[in-house]
Amino acid sequence: MLLTPDAPLQPHKGEHTPAPYDGRERKRLVLLLIFVLSWLSTAVAWLLMESRGISSPTLRGVFGANIVFHPVMFALVYWRRLPERVVDVSCLLFAAGICAACMVLRLYFPAYGASIDLEPLYLWIPVIYVFAFTVAGHKSSLAISLGILALFFVISLPYLVHSPTERLGNFTIQLHMVSAVLIAALYFFSSYQHRLQLAQLTMDELATLSHTDELTRLPNRRRIAQVVSYELLRFARHGRGFALVMIDIDHFKDVNDQFGHRVGDQALKALAVRAGETLRDGDTLGRWGGEEFVIVLPEAGLDEALHKAQALCAHVVAAPLINDQLISISCGVTRVVSADTAESLFHRADMALYAAKQHGRNRAESMAVA
């Protein structure tokens, strides 16, 4: 498996790796819990009001809508029948619709809405704006929140014109003022969070670019040096050795001279893909520079690494690499010893690669400390 350029150095087999965090699945479970609690609280409130004789046909309609909506949404979310965004928007529109309907009935149809207490209802409207800023980007959330605010304002405007000093009128005006301030605050914090996310994304991209070879998309020289340093540290602390393979394309200058540098670049990319086909999980393939590549083989012995390098040479030359051209490689193999530094390790691998070139190319040679 190739080491992803922007990922931290991964533990090898036998070491514990934590399970990845699935934020979407956790959100789904929380949403299911909310539907259950909402249904239970609605059912209990309805039963209490009925038992006290303070219910009404309008309240029964409101409670009934909630009693139906929550189980339906629970089933759709549980069976994953709707996309996450559709679920969020549906919940938002349902809450806003219930509040708008209750406002219309209470302000303009007292015969039907007299049993609706607007003041507790108005306490839920700011929650709608908060929820709106969780379902979309900061600009879309602002548009949704302003649209809902405009809906409530248009509904209440005739009442405010005729009865601005009434208790409900005064409370409705305060609701709109508080809602406007809340939306502005939510937009400010959402925009700030968005800028932080963009900054983090830019930093992550820069980190990726700093560790990635632009042509082959493999780990670059800097990243390979980090991997080797990490393996040297593991060797010093735990005695877990590793092998190093240096790869060079045979007669690569002739490829560039005969076919041009564009074809040469294509050959480098093709070699990166083909070499990666032979690696184990935990092995790291990177471009060292020019036509040279490096493979780090954790916990591999010298004979095992030599065998893998020989197999790699055969795999590369077995079929045309680019433009029906057979291209071979030479490999130098070595294994870490207790006195090694990164410099001595690469020097020994480079000497083994030179020996492979001297002995005819298209082969692998190993070099150990005497």
Mean pLDDT for the stretch of residues 76-84:
90
Residue 2: pLDDT over 70? no
Could you give the residue ranges of the DSSP H alpha helices within the chain? Answer: 23-52, 57-78, 84-108, 110-113, 118-132, 138-162, 167-211, 221-238, 252-259, 261-276, 302-317, 342-358
pTM (2 decimals)? 0.56
User: Could you tell me the domains of the chain?
Assistant: 23-207 (no CATH), 221-366 (3.30.70.270)
Mark 175-209 as b/e (b = at least 16 C-beta within 10 Å). Answer: bbeebeebbeebbeebeeeeeeeeeeeeeeeeeee
In whole angstroms, what is the distance from residue 125 CA to residue 176 CA?
10
Share of the chain above pLDDT 90, in %: 63
Question: What per-residue confidence (pLDDT) applies to 201?
Answer: 65
If you write DSSP's letter for every residue of 6-61 in order, what string do you get? TSPPPP-TTS--PPPP-HHHHHHHHHHHHHHHHHHHHHHHHHHHHHHT---HHHHH
Per the CB < 8 A criterion, the answer to whether 85 and 135 are in contact is yes
Question: What per-residue confidence (pLDDT) applies to 313?
Answer: 96
Average pLDDT, the chain: 88
Q: pLDDT tens across 168-221, in order?
A: 889 999 999 999 999 999 999 988 887 777 767 677 666 666 788 989 989 999
Query: What is the DSSP-derived secondary structure letter of residue 212?
Result: B
Q: pLDDT tens across 275-330, in order?
A: 999 898 889 999 999 999 999 999 999 999 999 999 999 999 999 988 888 999 99
Question: What per-residue confidence (pLDDT) applies to 21?
Answer: 45
Query: What is the DSSP-derived secondary structure letter of residue 233?
Result: H
Coil, helix or strand at residue 286: strand
Half-sphere exposure of 102 (CA within 13 A, CB side): 23
Question: What per-residue confidence (pLDDT) applies to 363?
Answer: 96
